[in-house]
Amino acid sequence: MKSGNRRFGLVIDRVTGSEEIVVNPMHPKLKSLGIYSGTTVMGDGTVALILDIQGIADHAGVESVSENEATVTRYVSESAGSDVQRVLLFKVGEHEQFAVPLLLIRRVKEIFTDRIAAVGSRFYITVDGIPTLILRLDRLLDVSALPEKKTMYLLIPRYAPCPFGILMSHISNVVSVPLILDTDSLREEGLMGTAVVQERLTLFPDIWYLLEKAAPDRPEKQKTDISSEKPVCILLVEDSAFFRQLVRRWLESGNRKVITAENGLKALELMDKTAFDLIVSDIEMPEMDGRTFIRQVRMQEKYRHIPALALTALDSEESRSLGKDAGFDAYQKKIDRERLLRCVENLLKKS
């Protein structure tokens, strides 16, 4: 758990599942119990109390992380040579280990396999009253077959263009790893790359590519096509190796070429050598952050016409205002693929 700069572990005896809930306020007579933030009614009709993490930390007397500890943690992270990502490890068949970063996951739901309905060559299950397409990785990739089990798990991505999920036979763990994907050792369409996690070769599926492969005839309103007739060159500025690779895959389509830089300083050097049609830049970066970078770009007459998109994990009105004041034309969250691509398409049409 994390509350401000306080970090602690909460001991539990078992995990019973996950649900999307509506939190109701505590009864006035119980508001003095600071370890609870509210109540909810679960799907089976039982009442559950919602824990307040900050209240628990206050009640238990959890101390703040010291400056020295924070410095050591930051040093270890930086010395790893890449950004650290929390990933969900899971299995589909008997042999392979898969992983998806938690940032890309909306929820994981336990399902009963006898409720899966086959429609032609596709499979669906109802989640919250909505028919949801099931992606079976053993039918989309060259991996071992799913076992026959009564219960399995469905991984539902964030910001999905349509209701769909990845079927998992087993959830192994959630771990933090310095994530740089190897794209050469195992090449297959539908894989972003591989990494060694807990001493095992781990496959990272390309969720959106697999959706296109499984359902190429989806309605046009569910698709985002950024291909173009004329060649387009995009400058992607991102310090995180993982997100640099992820967003680059999203942007590369048709006649689009993507050149990457790790920070604003290197990006400025590239702009002196290459003509770009669009800039897509992270905000928080070492050496030179995104706002400083775009200010430097807008100071030069020859670059003022280039549209620029701020790409960040932050999503507040203050951050948007600061980004536009610095010189960005638009502002999007880096993990929302569909909105990002639509924004890129609109900026290129206006340029």
| pLDDT tens by residue, 118-147 | 998 899 999 888 999 999 999 999 999 999
Place of tokens 């034309």: 329
**Measured CA angle at 49 (ends 46, 52), to 5 deg:** 160
56-85 confidence digits (pLDDT tens): 888 888 765 444 444 434 443 443 334 778
16-62 confidence digits (pLDDT tens): 877 777 777 788 788 788 888 888 888 777 888 989 888 888 888 87
Instruction: Give the integer Cα–Cα distance in Å for 27 and 36.
Output: 11
In whole angstroms, what separates CA 11 from the centre of its chain?
27
Q: Where are the domains positioned within the chain?
A: 2-65, 84-214, 224-350
CATH code for the structural domain at 2-65: 2.30.30.40
Q: Specify whether the CB–CB gap between 329 and 309 falls below 8 A.
A: yes
Instruction: Give the integer Cα–Cα distance in Å for 315 and 242.
Output: 20
In whole angstroms, what separates CA 289 from the centre of its chain?
21
pLDDT for 350 equals: 78
Per-chain mean pLDDT for the chain: 83
Instruction: Give the integer Cα–Cα distance in Å for 176 and 340.
Output: 26
Q: Specify whether the CB–CB gap between 194 and 181 falls below 8 A.
A: yes
SS3 state of residue 195 = strand
pLDDT for 334 equals: 79
Please give the single-letter amino acid code of residue 80.
Answer: A
Of the candidates 255, 250, 249, 251, the residue with the CA atom closest to the CA atom of residue 232: 255
Torsion over CA: 168, 173, 179, 181 (sign): negative
Q: If residue 57 lies in a helix (H) or strand (E), which one and from where to where? A: helix 53-60
Which carries the bigger pLDDT value, residue 322 or residue 199? 199
Q: Specify whether the CB–CB gap between 256 and 226 falls below 8 A.
A: yes
Instruction: Give the integer Cα–Cα distance in Å for 99 and 82.
Output: 17
227-253 confidence digits (pLDDT tens): 556 788 999 999 888 888 889 988 987
pLDDT for 204 equals: 94
Which carries the bigger pLDDT value, residue 156 or residue 336? 156
Q: If residue 296 lies in a helix (H) or strand (E), which one and from where to where? A: helix 290-298
Average of per-residue pLDDT across 205-231: 73
Kind of pairing between the strands at 232-237 and 256-261: parallel
pLDDT for 218 equals: 66
pLDDT for 322 equals: 65
Q: Say what percent of the chain tops pLDDT 90.
A: 33
Edge to edge, the sheet with strand 105-112 lists 105-112, 151-157, 164-168, 130-135, 122-127, 117-119
Which carries the bigger pLDDT value, residue 68 or residue 282? 282
CATH code for the structural domain at 224-350: 3.40.50.2300
Average of per-residue pLDDT across 256-263: 92
pLDDT for 78 equals: 43
pLDDT for 82 equals: 47
User: Domain 84-214 class?
Assistant: mainly beta
